[in-house]
Amino acid sequence: MPDTLIPPRLTSLAHGGGCGCKLAPNVLADILSEMPLALGSKDLIVDAGTSDDAAVYRVNDTTALVATTDFFTPIVDDPYTFGKIAATNALSDIYAMGAKPIFSLAIVGMPVDKLPPETIRAILAGGQSVAEAAGAPVAGGHSIDVGEPIYGLVALGLGHPDRLLLNSRARAGDVLILGKPLGIGIYSAALKREILSPEQYAEMIAFTTRLNTPGTELSAMEGVHAATDVTGFGLLGHGSEMARGAGVSLVIEKDKVPVFEGARALANEGVKTGASGRNWESVKALVSGEMSHVERDLLCDPQTSGGLLVACAPETANDVLARFAAHGHVGAAIVGRVESGPASVRVA
């Protein structure tokens, strides 16, 4: 790229941004409908069958290898921050399984005719800074020349095979705890429209770059049964995955769900992403309850680097909330409960 050219805004090069550019759940399910599951080995103990956040391979009776990958197009224009958000989001899947990250590999796709080397270098540096902070340094990776900027990680971690926080382990009687407020998708839509305030932008960055580190410790706590991270499919989408995986009914108490106040105000003004509508179309057959259009948009809002959704025994809930607070997740809150019944989500 000639030195006289000014690099374009990163978000202008992408048709979507962050986890909002994921395939809709129903589209993905249709694509994978005729694909056989991978459980051909007794030691491959988790595959895609329960919509968990990572695959798991049992190494021995006390050690399991947890593997995942996540990548997306830019959600912000600052390259270093984009790298940090993408890496935080990718590592979240390891924490959501209750494992400890050990190392990672970079996934890099960049339009080299549009972005100068220093911009790409900054994206990688942002991701590396987060990976190192998580104890999962970037040990290599792969890069290609593509039309849109893409960055993410393959993340690997270790956990105890009997203590992993799988979707299938949620139990009737559990309470549900959400680790971060909703509204990141709405913030990102406002950013693209250049109507996001500096304070809202700062809030967005603070939460999307906060690692879901409580997950590793939660897996060792008695009474903590299941977890997932709420990302591109929204709270109702990822809640539905947990419901299906465990064969239970989730009840989401909409008035208890934490939401960024700025995002709620923007939602009331009609700001939302296209992904929220796709998310709703994908889950509405499983979801019941009364919701306004704004409430539905918030509950289906695609989260980039969102919070953990944890199912735990009621007597453990205060300890779980304290563990979140100890890691800086002060907005964690009880948002519902798990009941027996066919796989479903009821909004109350």
* Contact (Cβ atoms closer than 8 angstroms) between residue 107 and residue 154: yes
| 24 found inside a domain | yes
Q: Which of 97, 28, 52, 96 is nearest to 242 (CA)?
A: 52
CATH number, domain containing residue 59:
3.30.1330.10
Q: What residue type is assigned to position 229 of the chain?
A: D
Q: Indicate whether 32 pLDDT > 80.
A: no
Same domain, 125 and 75: yes
Q: What integer pLDDT is reported at residue 14 of this predicted model?
A: 75
Q: How far apart are CA 238 and CA 222, in angstroms?
A: 23
* Contact (Cβ atoms closer than 8 angstroms) between residue 56 and residue 97: yes
- The residue-averaged pLDDT of 212-218 equals 97
Q: What integer pLDDT is reported at residue 48 of this predicted model?
A: 79
Q: What are phi and psi of 330, to 5 degrees?
A: -75, -15
pLDDT band at 59, cuts 50/70/90? very high
* Contact (Cβ atoms closer than 8 angstroms) between residue 308 and residue 219: no
Q: What integer pLDDT is reported at residue 1 of this predicted model?
A: 45
Q: How far apart are CA 32 and CA 339, in angstroms?
A: 29
Domain span holding position 207: 167-347
| 4 found inside a domain | no
Q: How far apart are CA 6 and CA 114, in angstroms?
A: 9
Q: What are phi and psi of 306, to 5 degrees?
A: -80, -175
Three-class DSSP category at 121: helix
| 330 found inside a domain | yes
Instruction: Name, in order, each residue with C-beta under 8 angstroms of 98's C-beta and a sequence gap of 6 or more.
Output: 159, 163, 164, 165, 215, 216, 218, 219, 220, 224, 227
Looking at the 3D structure of the chain, how many domains does it have?
2
Annotation marks residue 300 as catalytic: no
Distance in angstroms between the alpha carbons of the first and the last residue of the chain:
55
pLDDT digits (tens, 9 = 90+) for 111-128: 999 999 999 999 999 999
CATH number, domain containing residue 212:
3.90.650.10
- The residue-averaged pLDDT of 290-302 equals 96
- The residue-averaged pLDDT of 53-73 equals 96
Write out the H or E segment, with its range, that includes residue 89: helix 79-96
Same domain, 117 and 19: yes
Same domain, 176 and 128: no
Q: What are phi and psi of 30, to 5 degrees?
A: -65, -40
pLDDT band at 2, cuts 50/70/90? very low
What are the tokens at 320?
């779980």
Q: How far apart are CA 200 and CA 189, in angstroms?
A: 12
CA atoms within 13 A on the CB side of 325: 7
pLDDT digits (tens, 9 = 90+) for 119-177: 999 999 999 999 999 999 999 999 999 999 999 999 999 999 999 999 999 999 999 99
Q: How far apart are CA 244 and CA 151, in angstroms?
A: 30
Q: What integer pLDDT is reported at residue 7 of this predicted model?
A: 76
Instruction: Name, in order, each residue with C-beta under 8 angstroms of 57's C-beta and a sequence gap of 6 or more.
Output: 41, 43, 44, 45, 64, 65, 67
| 72 found inside a domain | yes
% the chain with pLDDT above 70:
91
Q: What residues are paired with 182 via a beta bridge?
A: 259
Q: What integer pLDDT is reported at residue 25 of this predicted model?
A: 62
Same domain, 219 and 128: no
Pairing mode of beta strands 333-339, 150-159: unpaired
DSSP string of 230-289, one letter each residue: --TTHHHHHHHHHHHHHT-EEEE-GGGS-B-HHHHHHHHTT---HHHHHHHHHHTTTEES
Q: Write down the catalytic residue from 19, 21, 300, 312.
A: 19
- Segment among 8-17, 143-152, 241-250 with least mean pLDDT: 8-17
Same domain, 305 and 233: yes
Same domain, 186 and 294: yes
**DSSP designation for 84:** H
